[in-house]
Structure 1
Amino acid sequence: MGKSAHSIAAVVVAAGQGERVGGPVPKQYLPLDGRPLIHWSLSRLATHPAIHPVLAVIHPDFAALYEESVAGLDLPPAVHGGATRQESVLNGLEALRVHAPDLVLVHDAARPFVSEHLLDEIVRTLRERRCGVIPVTGITDTVKYRSGNEVTGTADRDRLVCAQTPQGFPYAGILAAHQQAYGRTFTDDSAVAEAAGMTVVTVNGDRANIKITHAEDFSVPSDQTEISTGTGYDAHALVAGDHVMLCGVRIDHDRTLEGNTDGDVGLHALVDAILGALGCGDLGRHFPVGDATWSGRPSGDLVRVARDLMTERRATLLHADITLMCQKPRLAPRQEEMRHAVAGLLGVGESRVNIKVTSTDGLGFLGRCEGIAAAATVTIRRPLP
């Protein structure tokens, strides 16, 4: 999804103290699968092609910790929050004036599992409706009213939903609404918008998009998880051209890889391996040859789809090992660059990614420089079925 229709910025609120988790460090800076929680939340929005800039609102006491936590992300300088979440959002919105966005998303840093699919749906609806847009999920538990310990009634849960973030709004409208609401207390930004008379519509949320609130939310007990491994393979022919894309890196060459996308066999093998580890079929099922949806698209888009599937299933990537096989071009000098690119696409630390390169000593179609192949092995941890 491109940026052609309306410019969209994002404010990510991370100025809270996270008291319910406990400890001296706010929850947004605690580790979640190898990276600070805030890194996951910001990277989900910052890597979406329709959203820029992504502005974090932080507590000034943790500025150094914030900078350390977001290393490697392309973000503007953070702004300082206020005494309440509502004041922090207003500070963020006012700081966006210099960027003059048409639309804006407001997201809680405590929701690190927002998927690209959900972002796409919010962005699409926001552009079409130009009003407040919030993701919601239904309520499955019975909801009771009480006074003290006495039940006084039962709510009609068919009329109730749980609101998530990110929530989207026309920028000028939500800025004015927050300015008007100063000094009053609301529980979320859509309530601020409602109070100002703005129409707010819903889209289907995602149950995987949980809010990290308590210490136990940071992990799934080990006796409720399993380790899965998947393997992937891909090969493409070399045709006339001036470069190849391998593991997300452009490498000058006198030929290019033929394919429906950019022909990146390294990323294709990686996606195939992730799908295998998840038990979700293979590359051909999700991205059929000849499907115009993916024609000319960068293979990083396929990785993002696979990453979203992991998020939906609450799976964590433990390690990815990719082997590139070709006679030419020489790839060894670019291994670390490719490792960095793959780690960025997956949203994991580089220690969880390994890139190997090899030739076939002149044997077969690879040795004759007719094509390039790749194999990948991925290990994930996921909740038991």
Structure 2
Amino acid sequence: MNADAKELAASFDLEKLTPEFYDNPYPTYRALRENEPVKRLPNGTVFLTRYDDLVTTYKNTKSFSSDKKREFAPKYGNTPLYEHHTTSLVFNDPPAHTRVRRLIMGALSPRAIAGMEADLIKLVDGLLDAIAAKGSCELIEDFAASIPIEVIGNLLDVPHDERAPLRDWSLAILGALEPVVSPEAAARGNKAVKDFLAYLETLVARRRGKPGNPERDVLTRLIQGEGNGEENGERLTEKELLHNCIFLLNAGHETTTNLIGNGLVALDRHPDQKQRLIDNPDMIKTAVEEMLRYESSNQLGNRMTTERVELGGVMLDAGTSVTLCIGAANRDPAQFPDPESFDIARTPNRHLAFATGAHQCAGMALARLEGAIAISRFLARFPNYAVNGRPVRGGRVRFRGFLSVPCAIG
């Protein structure tokens, strides 16, 4: 087995993944972590799998940059995808990152998120009513994917009758972040960016004419700027404004959909933990943290070295692309005892599902709230639910979730 693991690590190529890997990447991640934790891939990228190495990289913003202009130029060329991904919050360094993040965080304060709870419960209960009336459930389409789209739509105050294309745009744009992007996927992503920008231009124009409450409406807050423009008159450029609205939808949609879907499937596959949560509903917060660790919605992060730097005993030259494998780090036995076990009572649970450091997810409190309400209320309403067919993965490595999960509700 040790020889097999060494061969698995030696032959690993992020650009040549197998169906078996997409189904279950964790044996490969374990082999890498144990044999080549700082793995040089054929394309020159360094692939990290140890928890401590990821934390070091996240926190050392001097040596490891989030700016993707150099990396994305050959991948996308001069296209809408390139403009979007090099403008959005997540792929920028301070001060651009700091300015945009501060504006967004103001609308995602603890007080603001607490104020969303009643509407979120109402939304979830409405979806559960529809599932009960139907008598069966496609877990992603009927439930998991419907929640974050509405939540982010509410944050940006997108009219309900204009939300239909949002999910398809998001999936197409995020699909182009995979390590290998087909011409067809790139074309879908570029069209989605163009269509989304065209829609946002009209939405922003309407909001400028009729502003919302910046305490609750993120779009109004981004338009008006920090302190409603009073602090040095600072505003986002039009390009920054539009692309970070796209980022907000993408960041808030796919990962939360995956949290809910992955979490409910994990409970189905671990009936002892499912029953434990049914018997102890107050464990939902630790259960959500374990779901985030066990099947991280976002499996990969990226940085580029700005200088020659040592990491995990390996010297990296300036300009080295670094991929941080969150899915592997979250199962590192050096940090998590018995990491392959799904334990809804696990504490402490310092997982990296939301990263750490300056780029820690700005919406993590909202994602946790959505996950807790959605999963707890689904379980309370349908305690005998069961996956009754083969769940379909999306064939993605960066974002780990399901495209469809057939489900009987009992």
Classify the TM-score, shorter chain.
under 0.3
> Normalized per residue, which structure has more strand?
1
Alignment TM-score, normalising by the size of structure 2? 0.21
Greater fraction of residues in helix: 2
The structure whose RCO (Cα within 8 Å, separation 6+) is larger is 2
Computing the radius of gyration over CA atoms, which structure comes out larger, 1 or 2? Answer: 1
